[in-house]
Amino acid sequence: MTQHLTLLTGASRGMGLAIARQLLSQGHTVLCISRSVSDALAQHAERAGSTVLQWTHDLAEGAALSVRLENWLNEQGDDAWTSATLINNAGVIPRIGPLSEADAADLARTLRVGLEAPMQLTAVFLRATESWRAERKVLNISSGLGRRAMASQAAYCAVKAGIDHFTRCLALDEAQKSTGAKVCSLAPGVIDTDMQAQLRGADGSAFPDRDNFLQLKSGGQLTSPEEAARRVLSYLARPDFGSHPVADIRD
């Protein structure tokens, strides 16, 4: 029997929630790591006859989470799964404005949730599963802003640029191994989520690009979380996944 395990951060809302629902509908076992539990997701798993595990954890405290995750993975058998995938999806946008006005704690949280935690979780995922017979993948959710600078978004842009480059380095590491994991940092396009609403609601005097985000919404150019999830999972399932360590869903 085919058994697929997916570990997913930021699964309680937006595209992350849609990804979790679609994976459960496909029969995957999904371990969701978010700050809150979704009763609706648990009900969906029950209807689908799939297994969902929901861990509540603040990714700003990634070191403690990494210990828990590594222990859990070590409890799994080497041949328990046909595939094992880590999707680092969670991220936060700090207060929108020029870096000179940024709060130190806000910056630290953005970097820890968006970059530090994914690196920590990826490290333990790869270490704990290295002897597994399962096909292993790491999908990091990036952004066009990791590849294009934007005023008043220094921290978020830096996080996503970091995600891209860490994935490039990771791909080189895994290529040295006979059964290395396939890895990719994927920009999913512009999605109609709370993050987009946060950008549209920013103070225009502090965020020169606000009108662009307003036009994306008014022009119907935002992808729904469900459609974005479908595209991301379709990309993840491609035979050539990992051939390009940094990619864009629109390419």
CB 202 within 8 A of CB 214: no
Instruction: Choose, from 156, 166, 207, 241, the residue flagged as catalytic.
Output: 156
Taking residue 134's Cβ as centre, other Cβ atoms within 10 Å add up to: 20
CB 80 within 8 A of CB 1: no
235 is catalytic: no
Long-range contact pairs involving 57-64 (C-beta distance under 8 Å, separation at least 24): 57/33, 59/9, 59/10, 59/33, 59/35, 59/90, 59/112, 59/113, 59/117, 60/108, 60/109, 60/112, 60/113, 60/117, 62/112, 62/113, 62/116, 62/117, 62/120, 62/121, 63/120
Please enumerate in sequence order all residues whose Cβ is within 8 A of that of 23, keeping only pairs 6 or more positions apart, or say none.
4, 6, 8, 30, 50, 233
Q: Which residues are catalytic?
A: 156
